[in-house]
Amino acid sequence: MTSLWSVTLATMVKDIRLEWRSKDALNSMLFFSLLVVVIFMFSFDPLAEESRHIVGGLVWVGFLFASVTALNQTWARELRNQVLDAYRVSPAPANALFLAKVLGNFIFVGVLEALMTPLFVIFYNVRVLGPAWQLLPIAILGTWALVVNGTFFAAMSLRTRSREIMLPLLLFPISIPAVVSMVAGTTSILTGEESAHFYIVLLLTYDVVFTTACLALFEMILHAE
C-alpha cells in the first residue's frame, strides 16, 4: 500500500535533491529579491521614519514576485521527459504529489525569506516597535498562503501554452486577501500602532479554506487532459 505520507516525503526529497543540483529556482528567486532590495534602497531614503510603513509592503511584494519563479519551476521539471505521466499511471495518491510540491516550495521560499530578511533589516534600518514574535506566524501563514495557491494554480496552468504568464494572472488576484493581511499585519507590528492579531486570524482562515479547496480539487487537475 502506498501511503500518502511516504509518497509525499519521497517526492519532496526528490524535489529538494533536484533543486539542490540545479539551483534554478533558488538562484532566480535570490537574484530577483536582491534586485528589489537594491532598487528600492536607491529610490527612497531608507533611514526615514516612513520606511517602517513601507517596508512591510516592499518585503512581501518582493517575496510574492520572487516565489512565482519557484512555483513555475516546480512543475516545469515534471514536464521534461513527461515524468508527470509516470506519476499519473502509478497508484500513488494525487494529493501526495500536491503536498510534496507545497512543502518543497514552502522550504524554498522559507530559505529565501531567511536569507533576505536580514538584508531588508540592515538596508532599510528597520526597528520593530510592536511585538516582534508576531512576525513569525505572519511569515509562516503568509508563505503557506502564497505557496499553496501558487502550487495549485501553477499545476492548473501547466498544460496551457503560456503558463509563465498564466500563473501570475491566476495567482495574484486570488492572493489579494492574503497579501493585504501579510502587509497590514507586518506594518502594524513594525510600527506598533495596532495589534496584528486580526491579520493572523485572517491568514489562518485563508490558509485553511484554500488548502482544503486545493486538496479537494487537485486530483481532477492532475488527471485533466
Partner 1 sequence: MSDPSISIITVNNVIKQFGRFAALRGVTAEFDAGRFHAILGENGAGKTTLLRTLAGLAQPTRGAISIFGKTPRDACRDMGYMAHPSLLYDEMSGMENLRYYARLYGIDGNGRCEEVIRIVGLDPELARPVGQYSQGMRQRMSLARAILHDPKLLLLDEPFSNVDVQSAQAMVGLLKTMRDAGKTVFVITHQASLLEGVADEFVWMHAGQIVDRTAKLTRAAAPGEDVR
Binding site for partner 1 (CB under 8 A): 1-3, 6-7, 10-11, 14, 17-18, 21-22, 77, 80-83, 85-92, 223, 225
Return d(Cα 169, Cα 207) in angstroms, integer: 20
User: For residue 12, what are the CA distances in angstroms to 5, 97, 130, 217, 219?
Assistant: 10, 8, 36, 20, 18
In whole angstroms, the minimum distance from the beta carbon of 150 to partner 1 comes to 22
Q: Which residue, 10 or 215, has its beta carbon nearer to partner 1? A: 10
Q: Which residue, 88 or 127, has its beta carbon nearer to partner 1? A: 88
In whole angstroms, the minimum distance from the beta carbon of 87 to partner 1 comes to 7
Q: Which residue, 160 or 205, has its beta carbon nearer to partner 1? A: 160
| Contact indicator for 121, 63 with CB cutoff of 8 Å | no
Q: Which residue, 84 or 119, has its beta carbon nearer to partner 1? A: 84
In whole angstroms, the minimum distance from the beta carbon of 216 to partner 1 comes to 18
In whole angstroms, the minimum distance from the beta carbon of 223 to partner 1 comes to 8
In whole angstroms, the minimum distance from the beta carbon of 170 to partner 1 comes to 23
Q: At CA 101, angle to CA 199 and CA 204, rounded to 5?
A: 15
Q: Which residue, 98 or 206, has its beta carbon nearer to partner 1? A: 98
Return d(Cα 211, Cα 152) in angstroms, integer: 9
| Unique residue bearing C-alpha cell 518582493 | 62
